[in-house]
Amino acid sequence: IAGITQAPTSQILAAGRRMTLRCTQDMRHNAMYWYRQDLGLGLRLIHYSNTAGTTGKGEVPDGYSVSRANTDDFPLTLASAVPSQTSVYFCASGDSVSNEQFFGPGTRLTVL
Amino acid sequence: GQNIDQPTEMTATEGAIVQINCTYQTSGFNGLFWYQQHAGEAPTFLSYNVLDGLEEKGRFSSFLSRSKGYSYLLLKELQMKDSASYLCAVMDSNYQLIWGAGTKLIIKP
């Protein structure tokens, strides 16, 4: 099947609006991650979840929130978007045996 | 602080060999990963090293020296499709990945 899916593929958003990026995996991985990728910078961890029902803050959590109600879904919410949140957002899940992370196709978000 | 360094850009010729270096300073070490990322796409896994030495996988090999905080990715028999960014990442003591900014590899005919 798909592995990891993300929606939307891209979005243009007015500053101040609320936005939820969706992420779903079908590999039954316990760990899931949200990263942002900006030109010239490495992937930066926003939030993570080691298992359903738990979440943690990464390197750049401010302005973002997550929830993990079940194993498959890990949505990322921007409560009030700002232009500095313009980025490409990748969701990933982690295989606890190999430590490999598998990435979704990404969401390109532009905040104007 | 935690730091991953790799060259910003490299150029190589089709059919040749290229080595992409990565040095790291992290709080703890639970393995080093190399990912490939084509423009506009998601990163995909290439290799994982947790012990010192060379891991070979087809045209790609990855080397690790934990005492030197150093790794390299070696690509042989370069093909045009190898044009991509190569990301070095270290898994720290919290089992989180710390990522380098990536090396953009340009392959010329």
Contacts of A48 in chain B (CB under 8 A): 96
Contacts of B36 in chain A (CB under 8 A): none
- CA atoms of A97 and A32, how far apart (whole Å): 14
Q: Residue A111: enclosing H or E segment and its boundaries?
A: strand A107-111
How many residues in total does chain A contain?
A: 112
B29 in contact with A at a CB cutoff of 8 Å?
no
Residues A48-74: pLDDT tens digits? Answer: 999 999 999 999 999 999 999 999 999
pLDDT of residue B74: 98
- Please give the share of chain A, as a percent, with pLDDT higher than 90: 91
Cβ separation B45–A104 shorter than 8 A:
no
Residue of chain A with shortest Cα separation from B101? A42
Instruction: Say whether pLDDT at A89 is over 80.
Output: yes
Residue of chain B with shortest Cα separation from A48? B96
Mean pLDDT, all residues of chain A: 95
Compute the average pLDDT of residues B62-81.
97
pLDDT of residue A13: 96
Instruction: Say whether pLDDT at B1 is over 80.
Output: no
pLDDT band at residue A1 under the 50/70/90 scheme: low
- CA atoms of A15 and B21, how far apart (whole Å): 40
Contacts of A40 in chain B (CB under 8 A): 101
B85 in contact with A at a CB cutoff of 8 Å?
no
The count of other CB atoms within 10 Å of the CB of residue A61 is 16
- CA atoms of B96 and B1, how far apart (whole Å): 14
Pairing mode, if any, of strands B32-37 and B18-25? unpaired
Compute the average pLDDT of residues A90-102.
93
Residues B75-109: pLDDT tens digits? Answer: 999 999 999 999 999 999 888 899 999 999 999 99
Residues B10-46: pLDDT tens digits? Answer: 999 999 999 999 999 998 999 999 999 999 999 999 9
- CA atoms of B42 and B35, how far apart (whole Å): 10
Residue of chain A with shortest Cα separation from B41? A105
Instruction: Give the residue numbers in A contacting B (CB under 8 Å), as ranges.
Output: 35, 40-45, 48, 58, 90, 98-106
pLDDT band at residue A41 under the 50/70/90 scheme: confident
Contacts of B100 in chain A (CB under 8 A): 42
- CA atoms of A2 and A32, how far apart (whole Å): 16
Residue of chain A with shortest Cα separation from B87? A42
Instruction: Say whether pLDDT at A109 is over 70.
Output: yes
Contacts of B48 in chain A (CB under 8 A): 98-100
